[in-house]
Amino acid sequence: MQQSSQPAALWIWYPGDFEIRLHEKIAVKRKSRGVMYPAFWRLDRHYSNVIFRYTYDLPQEERIKITSEGTFSLILDGKDNYRSKDSEFTLPAGKHQITVCVFSDVEAPALLIEGAHVRTGSDWEASSYQNDWLPAGCWTFDTPDHRPSRFRLAVTPQEPATVELRDGRPLLDFGRETFGYLRFHNLKGEGAVNVYYGESMAEVLSPEECYSLDRFDAAEAGAAAEDGTYTLDDAKAFRFVWIHADPGVSWDHASMLYEYVPLTYQGSFECSDPKLNQIYEMGLYTLHLNTREFFLDGIKRDFWVWSGDAYQSFLMNYYSFFDLDVTRRTLVALRGKDPLARHMNTILDYSQYWFISLYDYYLYTGDFAFIRQYYDRAVTLMDFCLQQRSGEGFLEGRPQDWVFVDWADFNNTGAVSTIQLLLARSLEAMSAFAGLQGDQTAADSYGELAEAIKAKTFERFWDEEKGGLLHHRVDGVTQPTMTKHASLFAMTFGYLTPEQRESVTQNVLLHPDVPQIRTPYMRFHEMAVLCEAGQHDRVRQEVLSYWGGMIELGATTFWEEYDPTLADDAHYGMYGVPFGKSLCHAWGAGPVYLFGKYFLGVTPSSPGYETYLVQPNLGGLERMKGTVPTGKGLVSVEADATSLRIHGTYGTGVLAFTSAEMPECQEGEVRPLGGNRYEIAIEAGRTYSVSYKAVI
Amino acid sequence: MQQSSQPAALWIWYPGDFEIRLHEKIAVKRKSRGVMYPAFWRLDRHYSNVIFRYTYDLPQEERIKITSEGTFSLILDGKDNYRSKDSEFTLPAGKHQITVCVFSDVEAPALLIEGAHVRTGSDWEASSYQNDWLPAGCWTFDTPDHRPSRFRLAVTPQEPATVELRDGRPLLDFGRETFGYLRFHNLKGEGAVNVYYGESMAEVLSPEECYSLDRFDAAEAGAAAEDGTYTLDDAKAFRFVWIHADPGVSWDHASMLYEYVPLTYQGSFECSDPKLNQIYEMGLYTLHLNTREFFLDGIKRDFWVWSGDAYQSFLMNYYSFFDLDVTRRTLVALRGKDPLARHMNTILDYSQYWFISLYDYYLYTGDFAFIRQYYDRAVTLMDFCLQQRSGEGFLEGRPQDWVFVDWADFNNTGAVSTIQLLLARSLEAMSAFAGLQGDQTAADSYGELAEAIKAKTFERFWDEEKGGLLHHRVDGVTQPTMTKHASLFAMTFGYLTPEQRESVTQNVLLHPDVPQIRTPYMRFHEMAVLCEAGQHDRVRQEVLSYWGGMIELGATTFWEEYDPTLADDAHYGMYGVPFGKSLCHAWGAGPVYLFGKYFLGVTPSSPGYETYLVQPNLGGLERMKGTVPTGKGLVSVEADATSLRIHGTYGTGVLAFTSAEMPECQEGEVRPLGGNRYEIAIEAGRTYSVSYKAVI
């Protein structure tokens, strides 16, 4: 192949189909005690019949090499009856159009063309024969062997931390929660091997009730071993493994192959409280384990891609790995294809989280090209949502919809106030996207709808006496139930007046009579909002007590749900199953987000962190330091009660802080904002050292 | 397994998915000179994630056997966390619900449960997790081995009629057009074998231009032989085969494996003109070859399922094989799934033919259960069509639509009158279906729309001076072009007044200045309408000249297009390719329909032939006899100038005929209708012999 300054050839496919096909595979991996437990929603599928096109202009003829996933035929200049299936082809000089049909009913049809100048990539177009020529999808697959269907996560061997015999059978402890494939080295003999897995010791010691298990025939397994090692087919989530083998079976030792996405830990946080540091690290690890082909809810169960769960993972990811590949894959897989008959994951709120997640993606990355590629799918999803508004204009669940909000004992019939706020926020996102697309009419229309829904929600749900938003409204009558949820979102979305904010903080968030939140899922929002209300110290204590409480119970990753009032093994049950609870659940990793966004205090002020804000808040800590990734750069923050050190590598920041005395900074101008507030402009590449006096 | 009076267990699947998956495979079988040439429209796909359910009530426990296509898990009484993947399972006594999840991303998920009483079948329900519980699809697959994905047509060996050497290479002639797999017996040696196929001698002798070819390595093929016979992978359409092998390759002889649907030839026609008998038989054979997994357009090319072509095959089939399996498979595959972005086969008219075909299915079979199963898909297709009406209310092609009407030199921009009549007819079909569904509001609404479009079409397109419907209307101005097409459909749909019928017959159909129709596709409609105008004698002569003309040119099956003015090999070209024309095209088989419907004269008067009409017309023949299948029975007709013999095995018929004298019949009462017309009621199981005097 000739040398060339062209970008490398990349495998291309119909946009979204790589992600949708991958999701189809992942969504059926869950097994409950060895039996498949597929996702209970429609799984969308890749188009099997796809066509690609590209127009080139070459001064001389060029030999190209063609590789495809599926069968292909190549057509020059639309001459449909004269096709080539050869793996090499000479393109004539001059300006010509190449069209390549690819069919595959197994994997998403994909194409790799390698020439000195003509090479597949994002400048090719793809169509599913629906008048839908779009820029082709592509990623990092760039050789005939490194092809989309062979996408696999990384693996590395791990040894158990300890092995002991329990009831005469080996019990392996890997020291903390992990995920991967159990392996047997030098397996010999004949008989059955039963493997029981546990996220907790209680689970692994309950062969009749543990969630994950394997059973295999030792002779067959021995024969299937490679280099003396037999690796089980299905990866599992576990810390403990208990191996029950028939007497005739032996092996040297067992280990595992850890499967993971190689992520860069770009975010960091370290403070004067070792317990908080431990919580932060455990949060990162919990998030990492759930950051896979997609952002999953939990690695033991469900191993599914849930939009509301992913919404939080996206945010945590912006403050830790800043991995946009898994973010985009998740957004595309969640959206799937039309026609829409049910909501995302069957949940009304989860359709709304998708829009908000998409907006967050734009805010944190500034990558509008991705939004543009999926804008049409956002429009049809919003059309679908808007169709089911009630006579009053509220979004209500249909009989087939799941209105989730949270795992809690409340009634979600009728119009739920939280749902209306999520819809308003989604409409604001759509309005922004439409404006960026250049469709001002649509932008105005979405914007007006958002305003109308917001206004009507406050009109019908705000309770002046109770000082917050009531939960739901049935048959035109607002019910007296008060929950924290709608008020949380109203606050985080900036929908409250200063008076309402104060009222919500005192009368809802901190009021003991409003039902407590039990899931880390909503604790995530609750803690964030408390920070927004300046209650950092309170949040620090809650984190220590709630997340710290799990650690005290032996957690090595954070859980799906935690109720401090439960006793012993009762912690592990959920869904009516003794070990139904997921002990490594992405939404448990909230502190990763809280510390980065509200303690280090770094947030984008404009898309892609072109401008940003740093508002460090010690929240009762003696000192803290850490970094927040901003996509094109990093912001480092170090703070104690008398000094601040800020460094940003990209974009223009503003450091805003409170000081009891006039602060000093050699590197930048300190601008007093009135009261105790000050700010300093932060240029990229410079370190700002500030002496000040923290207001405790 | 216990004996039981239960119906046999049948494989079940999500309704339509067996057909849709099969169509996905068939639509990519076409090869142009050995290179894949897939259908150029979106190929719909089966749902990969499906769930089945059934509630039983058993006096005692029962052991069932479970087989699936894909992976399954069985759940009892909704206990989602306690699943079984075992191939046998004991159902507890009492009333319980079985749910079975099946996932398959290869073939359509399918399930077979065999128990003494609990057995899969049409009383099970299926869902794609879209709130869409529907009666499960099923057919004749009834054992673990006889499963949906293994559906294959029948095969039987055929020997060539002659083998000669041409340029030193074997040239096989199978005597007439056939379809299947070429085979080599006792293939030996090393080297390449090139096989060239021809529907005509001219084609097979053009290795550089013939449409179908094969190339294989003799040594590999020899190794792959079974019982000394090497069978090529891809079936082909051909009469002639020319084998070019390298010198080192030898074989005893070559033959083929004919692949076909075993059909019963229920319709028959035999008359005093041997040429017409030959045309009828050749029509049956042409139709049979194209009656396969689906009704195809042509077996050499395109090997695709086209709605407009299938519409005619359906009608021919009702007068010949009365095979409803292939009819239903074709209707389901054509409709595919939502969302609709383009028209059926990308053609605006082809969407309309689907509704009309569905109505014909109901009329000829009385099977409303099938219509009910696909009624929702009919509704969304009609919604899609109605959305693209112009300001005037006419259905116009969008830029991405193909407005076909016919292969002819005319302009289909703007509103084409033929399209409006097809839409009106489609709306009438929808009105009938809605009424039968019990939705009178929808029935009225469709009916009113049909009336309005009909009225406006006549208002804007009927030319009083020219005495017919003009072709199209652009930007609100009806263009002066006159074609036969709209007038044909107006007549066949009964949309004309008696005066208009007479005018159309004389001023359009028989008028030499209106452009002639060149395709058998529209000749089909033209001939039918001439019969409806009583021009049977004219039709007989046209059939002799047009279809007979192909036979004189050596046809053994009827062609895609026939222009008597062309010379020699020019007949074989089409689409700018020397042998592009299909010489075995379903729409060439029109005489099968014409003789049954208009000469023997048997038509249903009510759905499923509960009542029917027999109007024999000799059309200038001395005598004729034949049978027409009616689903539950047969009607036999024998006629000459002085006698008629009618026998029906099911339903109640009316024999209506013209006689110059008062007819006589021992078996039934002759009722004079005025003029020369008479009728006799026909009861099932009796033979009616009538003496009369034909009016020549």
Please, which residues bridge with residue B688 across strands?
Answer: B646
CATH of the domain at B444: 1.50.10.10
pLDDT at A372 over 70: yes
Asked if A131 and B400 come within 8 Å (Cβ–Cβ), the reply is: yes
Quick check: B4 pLDDT over 60? no
User: What local confidence, expressed as pLDDT, does residue A560 receive?
Assistant: 95
A558 found inside a domain: no
Give B1's pLDDT tier (boundaries 50, 70, 90): very low
Q: Check B40 against A575: CB less than 8 A apart.
A: no
Say how far apart CA A263 and CA A629 lie, in whole Å: 13
Task: Specify whether B173 is located in the same domain as B74.
Answer: no
Which residues on adjacent β-strands are paired with residue B256?
Answer: B158, B182
Query: Are A638 and A674 in a shared domain?
Result: yes
- Whether A25 maps to a domain, the answer reads yes
Pairing, β B88-91 against β B62-69: antiparallel
**Distance, CA of A369 to CA of A134 (rounded, Å):** 12
Mean pLDDT of chain B: 96
The answer to whether B269 and B595 have CB atoms below 8 angstroms apart is yes
SS3 state of residue A671: strand
Residue B393 covered by a domain: yes
Q: Is the pLDDT of residue A668 over 90?
A: yes
Report CB contact under 8 Å: A36, B71: yes
Task: Give the chain A residue whose CA is nearest to the CA of B22.
Answer: A105
pLDDT, tens only, A169-228: 999 999 999 999 999 999 999 999 999 999 999 999 999 999 999 999 999 999 999 999
Could you tell me the residue range of the domain that residue B624 belongs to?
Answer: 600-691
Looking at the partner chain, which of A39, A101, A338 has a beta carbon nearest the beta carbon of B38? A101
In sequence order, the 6+-apart residues with CB closer than 8 A to the CB of A46 are: A13, A14, A17, A18, A20, A21, A24, A107, A108, A109
| pLDDT reported for residue A696 | 72
Determine if residue B167 is left, alpha or beta; phi over 0 gives left, psi from -120 to 50 gives alpha, anything else beta.
left
Residues B141 and B168 both lie in one domain: no
Displacement of CA A230 from its chain's centroid (Å): 33
Helices A520-532 and A485-492, packing angle to 10 deg: 50
pLDDT digits (tens, 9 = 90+) for B8-46: 999 999 999 999 999 999 999 999 999 999 999 999 999
Average pLDDT score over chain A = 96
> Which among A35, A46, A79, A104 is the top mutation candidate for probing chain B, defined by the most B β-carbons within 10 Å of its own β-carbon?
A35
Average pLDDT for B578-594: 97
State the total domains in chain B: 4
Does B84 contact A341 at a Cβ distance shorter than 8 Å? no
Residue in A closest to B398 by C-alpha: A131
B6, B14, B8: which is closest to B111 by C-alpha? B14
- Pick the last residue of a domain from B135, B150, B165: B150
Give me the pLDDT at residue B696, please. Answer: 72
pLDDT of residue B2: 44
Burial B601-627 (b: 16+ CB within 10 A, else e): bbbbeebbbeebbbbbbbbebeebbbb
Contacts of A504 (CB under 8 A, 6+ apart): A467, A468, A487, A490, A491, A496, A533
Nearest chain B residue to A105 by CA distance is B106
On whether both A96 and A223 belong to a single domain, the answer is no
Bond prior to B274 in cis (omega within 30° of 0)? no
Cβ contacts (< 8 Å) between A208 and chain B: which residues? Answer: none
pLDDT of residue B519: 86
How many angstroms separate the Cα of B314 from the Cα of each of B324, B495, B611? 9, 22, 20
- Do B184 and B202 lie in one domain? The reply is yes
Other CB atoms within 10 Å distance of the CB of residue B386: 16
Spatial strand order in the sheet of A664-665: A268-271, A623-629, A634-640, A643-648, A687-691, A664-665
pLDDT in tens, A278-321: 999 999 999 999 999 999 999 999 999 999 999 999 999 999 99
pLDDT band at B5 (very low <50, low <70, confident <90, very high): low
What pLDDT digit, counting tens, does each position of B539-584 carry? 999 999 999 999 999 999 999 999 999 998 999 999 999 999 999 9
Query: Closest approach of chain A CAs to the CA of B72, in angstroms?
Result: 7
Confirm whether A97 is domain-assigned. yes
Q: How far is B604 from chain A (nearest CA, A)?
A: 39
pLDDT at residue A267 tops 70: yes
Contacts of B14 in chain A (CB under 8 A): none
Question: CB-CB: which of B101, B130, B576 is closest to A38?
Answer: B101
* Together in a domain, A200 and A107: no
A179 and A125 assigned to the same domain: no
For residue B522, the model assigns a pLDDT of 93
Identify all chain B residues contacting A41, using CB atoms and an 8 Å cutoff. Answer: 49, 129
pLDDT at residue A527 in the model: 96
Question: Could you tell me if A93 and A59 are in contact, meaning their C-beta atoms sit under 8 angstroms apart?
Answer: yes
End-of-domain residue from the set A260, A284, A319? A260
User: Does residue A262 contact residue A291 with C-beta atoms inside 8 Å?
Assistant: no
pLDDT tens-digit map of A95-125: 999 999 999 999 999 999 999 999 999 999 9
Chain B residue at shortest CA distance from A108: B105
Question: How far apart are the CA of B302 and the nearest CA of chain A, in angstroms?
Answer: 11
Domain CATH code at residue A41: 2.60.120.260
A48 vs B43, B83, B103: nearest CB:
B43
| Nearest CB to A28; choose among B41, B103, B338 | B103
Distance from CA of A443 to the nearest CA of B (A): 25
Residue B548 lies in a domain: no
Q: A349 near A419, Cβ under 8 Å?
A: yes
Nearest CA in chain B to A28: B103
Nearest to A40 among B129, B339, B575 (CB): B129
> Residue A38: pLDDT above 60?
yes
CA A214 to chain centre: 29
Q: Which chain B residues contact residue A82 at CB under 8 A?
A: 32-33
Res. A42 pLDDT band, cuts 50 70 90: very high
Examine the domain organization and report whether B61 and B189 are in the same domain.
no
Pairing of strands B71-76, B94-103: antiparallel
Residue A533 located in a structural domain:
no
Domain boundary among B442, B474, B500: B500
Asked if residue A695 has pLDDT above 90, the reply is no
Residues above pLDDT 90, as percent of chain B: 97
Q: Supply A607's token pair.
A: 């898309």
Residues B181 and B141 in one domain: no
Q: Which of B39, B81, B342 sits opposite A32 (nearest CB)?
A: B81
For residue A338, what is the nearest residue in chain B, using CA coordinates?
B339
Using a CB-CB cut-off of 8 Å, the residues of chain B touching A38 are 49, 101, 103
User: Are the C-beta atoms of A612 and A633 separated by less than 8 Å?
Assistant: no
Query: In the predicted model, is pLDDT for residue B270 greater than 90?
Result: yes
- What DSSP letter does each residue of B369-412 carry, written as one string? HHHHHHHHHHHHHHHHHHTTB-TTS-BB--TT-B--S-SSS---
Cβ–Cβ under 8 Å, residues B655 and B694: no
> How near does any CA of chain A get to the CA of B37, in Å?
7
DSSP per-residue string spanning A553-589: TT-SS--S---TT--GGGGG-BTTBTT-S-SSBGGGG
Q: What is the Cα B155 distance to its own chain's centre?
A: 21
HEC per residue, A449-485 = HHHHHHHHHHHHHEECCCCEEECEEECCEECCCECCH
Residue B518, pLDDT > 90, answer no
Q: Cβ of B524: how many Cβ atoms within 10 Å?
A: 23
Interface pTM, i.e. ipTM:
0.95
- Cβ–Cβ below 8 Å for A37 and B132: no
Same structural domain for residues A134 and A179? no
| Cα nearest neighbour of A86 on chain B | B35
| Residue B604, token pair as written in the block | 């249903």
**A160 and A67 housed in the same domain:** no
Residue B584 within any structural domain of the chain: no
Query: Are residue A21 and residue A139 in the same domain, yes or no?
Result: yes
| Residue among B340, B170, B278 at smallest CA distance from B555 | B278
- Nearest-angstrom CA–CA distance, A14 and A126: 5
**Confidence band, pLDDT 50/70/90 cuts, at residue A5:** low
| Inter-chain CB proximity A85 and B128 less than 8 Å | no
pLDDT for the residue numbered A1: 40
DSSP string, A678-689: EEEEE-TT-EEE
> Would you say residue B3 lies in a domain?
no
Q: Which residues in chain A have their CB less than 8 angstroms from residue B71's CB?
A: 28, 36
- The CATH number of the domain holding residue B686 is 2.60.420.10
The CA-atom distances, in angstroms, between A521 and each of A30, A313, A329, A557, A562 are: 21, 10, 22, 15, 10
CA distance B403 to A467: 63
| pLDDT at A77 exceeding the cut of 90 | yes
Q: What is the pLDDT of residue A409?
A: 86
Of B82, B131, B577, the CB nearest to A342: B131
Q: Helix B348-365 crosses helix B324-335 at what angle (to 10 degrees)?
A: 150
Q: Which residues contact B445 (CB under 8 A, 6 or more apart)?
A: B434
